[in-house]
Amino acid sequence: MSLEFTGRTVIVTGAAHGLGRAISIAFAARGAAVWGCDVIGDELAETQRLCGKGCTTAVVDVRDKKAVERFVAEAGDVHILVNNAGGVLGQVGRPLEEVTAEQW
């Protein structure tokens, strides 16, 4: 199994710090074109610096459907999505398939 991602585009939500930042760095180190988004702009800039030139970041609130659509369109063909941003308030213990777009 290859852990190289050259030629692959990866979107990571919640990329400003923590797991999202670590995941972004790991994919970038393995050749992926990383597109990271978050609502925390200053920390997101640090993620981009740590990932290097193969990383593009943008301040995007994943609750804003139109902003997400613009971000995804700009990224082009996306091969991998790491949906790491935030959570679903009040939905703990509820099956994901029962969560509506509005609740998400």
Could you read off the pLDDT of 31-87 as tens digits, one per residue? Answer: 999 999 999 999 999 999 999 999 999 999 998 999 999 999 999 999 999 999 976
Q: Which parts of 1-104 are beta strand (E)?
A: 9-13, 33-38, 55-59, 80-83
Kindly state the average pLDDT of the residues 6-35: 97
| Tokens 């459907």 -> residue | 65
Question: Assign residue 98 a region: left if phi > 0, alpha if psi is -120 to 50, beta otherwise?
Answer: alpha
Concatenated DSSP letters of 31-44? T-EEEEEES-HHHH
Per CATH, which fold does 9-98 belong to?
Rossmann fold (3.40.50)
Give the CA angle between residues 80, 86, 89 to the nearest 5°. 130
Q: What is the pLDDT of residues 88-99, one digit of tens each?
A: 555 556 676 777
Show me where the domains of the chain are located.
9-98
pTM of the model: 0.82
